[in-house]
């Protein structure tokens, strides 16, 4: 030990404690406890490896990978929806787009190898789905089907995450699907600690290897308020908290279309309108759902004026089945666009379609 008044370095302290343990283990334990109380930590342990502000601000960090530009970034993504809504078809079509370098949801994607863990599908069913979507046998894609996950990888929260990470690092996947979340993790999905412990390894793997990982999951029974991509996920709120991006797929009753709500840390919140292609078994993106809905509502007003002729906002709102305030705002947009004429008569305002000769 040093004879000066300065504290000896950790390596020298560790050497002294090791020597003391051989002479008197109990005394050595008391000495280590005393040192920990004085220093606030175990003095024999090396200091934490930390980044400085200079490190963070001056390092050229690699650009994150996007499986789909502006929609599906690197990290853990949960794709949730009700049973049989088309989640697996959507995940499989994105995997096809990445493996082939094609398009997904109207966006061009960069080509790269993919890993698809079809934990609910036997090989025969997966083959049928792939053939319907137009997969070819020469694409850079690896698959694991029903039953093999438990044998080769196992629960992601109990060692499986590390085994999967090694495979992702080995193959350099550009996109990974684990279908479904409930088959990949065990334990109570309503337990925050269980879900956090299960999802943390796969989220870390996604970021460590710059790889987007998508995990289809289920929605709880939705009642009351409108759709919420985060709170609608079945089970613990830890799922939504752990995910970097959340996709909520909501199929509209009586329609072949659906809405895809997207939110996350690195992606702008948006709602896309999707339509289902029965022949190709895939989803097509029709555009921003709010804009399309607004266009439909305005068209309803034009159709109503075609039947009503000249009418006030109250009668128009009643005809289209929309609130008066919303109808009034849409009428102003239509007037500004020259699609509807506005006339004032005293205190009353009327609207009508312009004459063809005007």
Judge whether 23 lies within some domain: yes
Among candidate residues 40, 61, 82, the one where a domain is terminated = 61
* Tally of structural domains, the chain: 3
**Residues 306, 181 within the same domain:** no
Judge whether 283 lies within some domain: no
**Residues 52, 99 within the same domain:** no
Residue 298's domain spans which residues? 293-352
Judge whether 340 lies within some domain: yes
Judge whether 288 lies within some domain: no
CATH number, domain containing residue 90: 3.40.50.300
Tell me the mean pLDDT in the region 155-160.
86
**Residues 269, 178 within the same domain:** yes
Is the pLDDT assigned to residue 357 strictly greater than 60?
no
CB 89 within 8 A of CB 83: no
Each residue's pLDDT tens digit, 333-348: 888 888 899 998 888 9
**Residues 211, 106 within the same domain:** yes
CATH number, domain containing residue 338: 1.10.10.10
Among candidate residues 277, 312, 340, the one where a domain is terminated = 277
| Residue position matching structure tokens 């997207």 | 262
Give the angle 155-158-159 at the CA atoms, nearest 5°.
Answer: 95
Higher pLDDT residue, 141 or 308?
A: 141
CB 77 within 8 A of CB 212: yes
**Residues 55, 126 within the same domain:** no
Judge whether 284 lies within some domain: no
Q: Is the pTM of this model over 0.85?
A: no
Is the pLDDT assigned to residue 1 strictly greater than 90?
no
Give the pLDDT score at 171.
Answer: 93
**Residues 108, 234 within the same domain:** yes
**Residues 133, 252 within the same domain:** yes
**Residues 21, 86 within the same domain:** no
Judge whether 357 lies within some domain: no
C-alpha 179/C-alpha 116 separation (Å) is 8
Judge whether 252 lies within some domain: yes
CA within 13 Å, CB half, 344: 2
Structural tokens at position 89: 């078809």
Tell me the mean pLDDT in the region 186-207.
88
CB 182 within 8 A of CB 225: no
**Residues 111, 48 within the same domain:** no
**Residues 227, 87 within the same domain:** yes
**Residues 240, 189 within the same domain:** yes
């Amino acid at each position: 030990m040093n004879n000066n008044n300065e504290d000896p370095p950790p390596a020298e302290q560790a050497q002294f404690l090791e020597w003391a343990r051989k002479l008197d283990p109990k005394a050595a334990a008391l000495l280590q406890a005393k040192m920990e109380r004085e220093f606030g930590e175990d003095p024999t342990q090396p200091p934490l490896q930390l980044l400085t502000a200079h490190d963070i601000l001056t390092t050229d960090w690699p650009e994150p990978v996007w499986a789909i530009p502006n929609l599906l970034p690197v990290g853990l993504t949960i794709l949730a929806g009700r049973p049989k809504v088309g989640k697996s078809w959507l995940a499989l079509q994105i995997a096809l787009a990445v493996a082939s370098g094609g398009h997904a949801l109207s966006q061009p994607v960069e080509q790269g190898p993919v890993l698809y863990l079809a934990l609910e599908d036997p090989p025969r069913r997966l083959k049928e789905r792939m053939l319907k979507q137009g997969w070819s046998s020469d694409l850079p894609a690896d698959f694991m089907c029903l039953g093999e996950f438990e044998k080769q990888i196992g629960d992601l929260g109990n060692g499986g995450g590390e085994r999967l990470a090694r495979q992702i690092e080995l193959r350099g996947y550009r996109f990974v699907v684990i279908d479904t979340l409930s088959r990949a993790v065990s334990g109570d999905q309503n337990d925050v600690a269980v879900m956090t412990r299960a999802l943390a390894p796969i989220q870390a793997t996604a970021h460590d290897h710059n790889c987007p990982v998508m995990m289809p999951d289920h929605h709880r029974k939705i009642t009351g308020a409108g759709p919420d991509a985060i709170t609608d996920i079945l089970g613990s709120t830890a799922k939504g908290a752990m995910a970097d991006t959340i996709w909520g797929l909501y199929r509209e009753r009586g329609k072949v279309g659906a809405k895809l709500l997207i939110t996350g840390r690195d992606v702008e919140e948006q709602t896309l309108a999707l339509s289902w292609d029965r022949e190709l078994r895939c989803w097509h993106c029709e555009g921003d759902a709010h804009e399309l809905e607004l266009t439909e509502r305005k068209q309803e007003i034009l159709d109503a004026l075609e039947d009503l002729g000249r009418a006030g906002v109250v009668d128009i709102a009643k005809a289209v089945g929309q609130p008066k305030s919303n109808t009034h705002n849409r009428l102003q947009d239509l007037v500004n666009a020259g699609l509807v004429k506005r006339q004032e008569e005293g205190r009353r305002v009327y609207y009508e379609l312009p004459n063809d000769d005007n």
